[in-house]
Structure 1
Amino acid sequence: MDNCQTFTQSFNRPNLHYEVRGKTTNAKCMDEIASLIKSKYANQSGIVYTVSRKNAEKVAESLSIQGITARHYHAGLDPQEKVEVQTSWQQGQVKIVVATIAFGMGIDKPDVRFVIHHGLPTTLEGYYQETGRAGRDGDPFDGILFYGKQDIRILKKLIADGECNNEQKERQMSMLNRVTAFCDNKSDCRRVEILRYVGEDFTAAQCCKTCDNCKAGLIFEQREFSEYAIAAIRVVQAQRRITAVQCADILMGRKYPPEARHSDDWYGMAKSLKKHELARVLDKLLAEKAFHENNQVGHHGMAIQYLKLGSAYRLFLSGQRKLMLSVQIPEEGANNKPSKPRSKQASRSRRIRM
């Protein structure tokens, strides 16, 4: 069509404050959620998302015992009960709905002030959609995610024990790894990470301290991870097709994907890095256009994101561009530092305050 106008809308929700909190035990997490609702969100509407139907029922019961009007909602309820819970919540008779991902489609309640994730979302896309079910009146609202290592173990077991084929399970595991990397990342802007995932460019300055990382005021230093960036590029360059998870497995010395070309030059060279640190390197390469993701449909109809070389990969190989990441300096001082590149040449660093 000629002479037509194009209108583009941002995925950013400027009235949303993102926060990730650590979870030690489910009991302590429940006490913290109840305390939050009673103090900060008293008499306000909200949604608490859980991973399973059983958890939805348990969390709703626990909140009710502590004097908070809460109902559970999941796909196992009969249609009449679903309508009753939804209507009671929309009319304000029930303030809190504790639900699985079955709740939310078609919901348009403008005055929802918080979305709490009691457990780990399985995808960043799902997390973005679920937090977006609050604050539709334009007023500030909070998206709080409680995250513990036990959540990862539970979800990985659910994936492993599921009825999906290996290709589907690998895709599910890849998406879960993106979520855990997001939660483990204490230095980069949450909003930048989420919007990058949905394909939108954003800067930490635009966040205006509306996420926990930008608001924390912690001290970081810029460290060079170019050696790992070059290794990742070489791995992708050598393979016909490879996912981010498979690339990370090779660099960390875990396993080669089927039919992959083996190379001792790069296998295991990133063993000194933590998983979330290597995930940040790969994400940064995507953001810097050294990689791009090519979506392909697999044998069983599932979409798979393969890493392909982007327009800027030669800049990293030639040394014209360095890959720098913000790394938090421990409170005890800068002596007990996280992983460094293996090269003998000292990497340049610059301290910054978030």
Structure 2
Amino acid sequence: MAACGAMDYERATREFLDAGMQVFQVAMLAKNEAEHCRVLFDLFQPTGTVVDLGCGIGGVGHAFKQMAPELTVIGVTNSELQVSHALPGVDVRLADMAQTGLPDACADVVMFCESFGYAPARRLLDEAYRLLKPGGRLCIKDFGFRAHDKTIGLCEERWGYQVHDPEALTLYAEQAGFKAVRQWRRLPADFSRWHRFMDGYSGSDEHRHPSHGPNICAAVYIYRKPEAQEDGPRLTMREALRGDEDAIAFCDLLYRVLHVWDDIVDGDKPLTDSDVNGAFRAALVDLPMNRFFRKHADTLVPILSAGITAWEVSNVFERSDDRELWRKAHMLRVHVGAVFVMCAELVGGREWATQVAPSMYDLVQGDTLAQYLDEMERKHAA
């Protein structure tokens, strides 16, 4: 854990070190740090050059080096104090996790160990994709929840840490160009060490960590950057929008609103107050004030309206028992992708939009027809 959100993590680092900690994590997968890192090693299967984003003092990388001396481990933290206490065998550097300054395609593995929620997911995924060699793996160890729990919102509100819904995280990763490999969404975890530390931490009254809920656990996600020859060139959303920050921000806000809207209508995924409040603020404040949207509203609004209508019709078809209507529903749900393609046309012209449209529609439609039909079967069976 490279930072502690609202916590004064320079002070916290000193107290971690005074408490004998080298691995600054909350959800422990074993009874001590060495065994915890062994479990992570078995899950991550690190090879070659490993970049640990949000590395703390390099505790995990140091343990990995002891298990596999041939590894090269580079750590990134935004704490000068943590850099000054870096453990042997780990090249710990002072930098922003989302803008590391490391070379392109320098890593075989990029990992986040309870650090992924401290910065916008899209920026971190784009940076991880840039750092990884083709075929490299992205490994994220984070928090999970067995059921809806108020501590999901507390992680963000009290601790400045966002825990992502697994489906949303995977869709974000796929939009960044990754392929999902494996997920462990509900790993048993021991929080007792952290609770003991927080009982003695001098800032515990102001920053009590929201890890006391009965449903909290750990989660691990593994993604892979495709080999170049696997399915031809595939652009990320940032590449398709040619790095236009206002256009990227608009698409990110729009996706967030549509995703929460869909979850509200479906009623099959837990949403926190923070999720709902964030989506409505994005729709009512952030989107209307976005410079790209304000400039191109006359072009974008009719396309967005048609896409929303198509989505509403798809929800009607989903309630039917007719599999042919489910197929049409799957087709209609991708219609909103026309908004994102138009954004590409507005930043790069018609020929550019035609070139990138296949990648953009592929990013917007997160599941295959077979996966979608299987989901419909399960919903109707339930």
On whether the aligned pair clears a TM of 0.5, the verdict is: no
Q: Which gives a bigger RCO, structure 1 or 2 (Cα 8 Å, sep 6+)?
A: 1
TM-score by length of 1: 0.39
TM-score by length of 2: 0.37
Structure number with the higher helix fraction is: 2
